[in-house]
Amino acid sequence: MPSPLHPLTTDIVPPERFTYPFCYEPHPLCLLAAEEVKQEIARINPTEGKMFGVLVVKQGDGSFVTPGDVTKEPSPCYMAAYSGLLEGRNDWPYFVPPVFDAQDPNGYFKTKEREISLTTHLSPLTSKKMSQDLQLWLFHQYQFLNAKGETKDLVEVWQDYHCSPRIRRRYPLPPGGTGDCCAPKLLQYAYQHGLKPLCMAEFWWGPSPKSEIRHHGEFYPACRGKCKPILTWMLQGLDVDPSPDAEGFPHLVPEVVYEDETIAVINKPSGLLSIPGRTEDHSVATWAQQRWPGSQPVHRLDMWTSGIILIAKTNEAYHHLQKQFTEHTVKKKYLAIVEGVPAKEHGIIDLPLLSDPMNRPRQIVDFEHGKRAITEYRVLASAQGVSALLALWPHTGRTHQLRMHCAHEQGLGCPILGDELYGRKADRLYLQAQAIGFVHPTTGRKMHFELPAEFSLNDPFVV
């Protein structure tokens, strides 16, 4: 089989540290490699959407690799991979092989799989037990190296990562397909052949899946559910870029729009958490506690969404306002700039949403298990057919509801500008909680607050 190493003719300087795979900007070397891989993908012309990855490498002694004939000027090399199978195959010669070949028709896994499926005299319980044992056997065949030269099988990697008893009970073993994503394949091949990883990137090619949102040609981080346990192990021994979550965020301060003895209305800036996160304590909640001891936010906004948040200064006010949210009597209006222009000027989006357990915090559309989510929208203005300013009224309050309803092809098919999860990066997320209406918890008066729009279609990044 031909070598999956491909030279890059370039003067681009490699990065000092390896890519943090869960949040990154593709390095120019990866962009160059990806363009070459796209030509190969076009030649194959796959019928399904698929994630592809590139890994730029050098020899372990620091010199660059040149596969094939020796040249005067050694060049960096890259390798490519695809997640799972590509057109039903895992042996395309341009790409690195799988960590373990479970598709060999004469191998133990496929032979045993056929044996189980053809055995009709067994009880369903016995048949299920045999399938589970076979799956466990397969997990043990995935032997992952790290940069130190150490090896662990998939079960060890998974259980060492999920050391919490609660998480271990929920996910005692990895889901099917774990270990077949791009990043583990690429790193495994590099380690096996004494190559030092320099940088890595993954991109989507083809139509989006029906439940998720993927844009053709766009770069994405590695999945957290299946890949983070494996990559946490495989990256040991490499000098890796730090996680942005570990670096903290600027301590932004909200603006007080209104306050009295029992409530406050604040304007949260984009980039401030509503409640403390796993690694970052500063948030609207902690700021409010310091300013008004005993207070707490009544609802939340995503970190990168700006706009109005209600603060209850007393428990009585909190429970009164919470009841209004539960009964859907609180009226909220958002502004958003989206990529593209919706087909209709006004409408209702009704798409059920479910958290993706293998790729949090992403949401997916799931008509069987998802919770109903309803959003009303109106196009306020459009610019040259490439972007639009929308008013959005959520009638339910699901996680990422507005972002998913705008981006998903069964919604508007127009992602919010700057939405890194469901669209493309920009200088900010162009989503603002602009207005809110509710009943004051102690006076009973109807209250309405509306902020000036923070952005317009004339902003430099929009046009």
What is the value of pTM for the model shown?
0.85
Quick one: pLDDT at residue 246?
65
Quick one: pLDDT at residue 231?
97
| Torsion angle of C-alpha atoms 84, 87, 91, 92, degrees rounded to 10 | -110
Instruction: Write out the catalytic residue numbers.
Output: 302
Quick one: pLDDT at residue 225?
86
Residues of the chain scoring pLDDT < 70: 1, 60-74, 245-249, 278-280, 463
Quick one: pLDDT at residue 100?
96
Quick one: pLDDT at residue 65?
56
Quick one: pLDDT at residue 71?
44
Q: Distance (Å, rounded) from C-alpha 182 to C-alpha 53?
A: 5
Sequence-ordered list of residues with C-beta below 8 angstroms from that of 33, at least 6 positions apart, any chain: 6, 8, 54, 56, 78, 80
Quick one: pLDDT at residue 79?
97
Quick one: pLDDT at residue 60?
64
Q: 28: burial class by Cβ within 10 Å (0-12, 13-18, 19+)? A: middle
Q: Is 68 left (phi over 0), alpha (psi -120 to 50) or beta?
A: left
Q: Distance (Å, rounded) from C-alpha 208 to C-alpha 205?
A: 8
Give the model confidence (pLDDT) of 307-322 as tens digits.
999 999 999 999 999 9
Quick one: pLDDT at residue 69?
47
Q: Which residues of 225-238 are buried (b: 16+ CB within 10 A; e: fewer)?
A: bbbbbbbebbbeeb
Residue with tokens 């509503």: 274
Cα dist. 314→60, 64, 319, 324 in Å?
62, 64, 9, 16
Quick one: pLDDT at residue 72?
43
In sequence order, the β-bridge partners of residue 266 are: 256, 309
Give the model confidence (pLDDT) of 84-118 as tens digits.
999 999 999 999 999 999 999 999 998 998 888 88
Q: Distance (Å, rounded) from C-alpha 48 to C-alpha 207?
A: 7
